[in-house]
Amino acid sequence: MHTEIERKFLVRGDGWRGRAEPVPYRQGYLARTSDRVVRVRIAGDRGFLTVKIKSGAISREEFEYPVPFEDARAMLDALSPGEIIEKYRYTFEEKGSVWEVDEFLGANRGLVVAEIELKSEEQDFEKPDWLGEEVSRLSRYLNVELARNPYCGWETGAGHRAEVNGG
């Protein structure tokens, strides 16, 4: 078990690009309730099964297990499109912290979100210039919610797209 304490931010502009090679992600949700999810994920050529249980404002208990690639693909293929997220993930270090930038595809195209994992909810860190508005406590930015309610369908999607893409 691992406690995941994660803060999320919208990304402004392209100042983060070129710092890492993209890894394709495809993930879906086998089960979800208001405080927990069961996710299957393919990251590059590796499969994972993850259980997340909410334990704080931005904290979750996380149980993640490798699964055979073909099993992960079969589980994803059995899901409906509304349960699947596709994105590229870029992982790199900047200003003493490891950042993960997710560039979403498909129905969430245009959304770019940066995440930082912390040791505590109050931990300080230096923010890169390309970091935009914090969205850690906005549930619609959770991947599980983006699968159900994609970015392209948000009423404010066009305004957010302009903000996220730098103008």
Q: pLDDT tens across 29-80, in order?
A: 999 999 999 999 999 999 999 999 999 888 999 999 999 999 999 999 999 8
Asked if 112 and 101 count as a contact pair (C-beta separation under 8 A), the reply is yes
Is residue 140 within 8 A of residue 156, CB to CB? The reply is no
pLDDT tens digits for 93-125? Answer: 999 999 999 999 999 999 999 999 999 888 999
- For the whole prediction, is pTM greater than 0.95? no
- Give the per-residue pLDDT at 158: 44
d(CA 105, CA 119): 30
Q: How far is CA 120 from CA 78, 126, 141, in A?
A: 37, 15, 21
d(C-alpha 26, C-alpha 135), whole Å: 22
> Which has more pLDDT, 161 or 65?
65
Give the residue numbers annotated as catalytic, written as ranges. 29
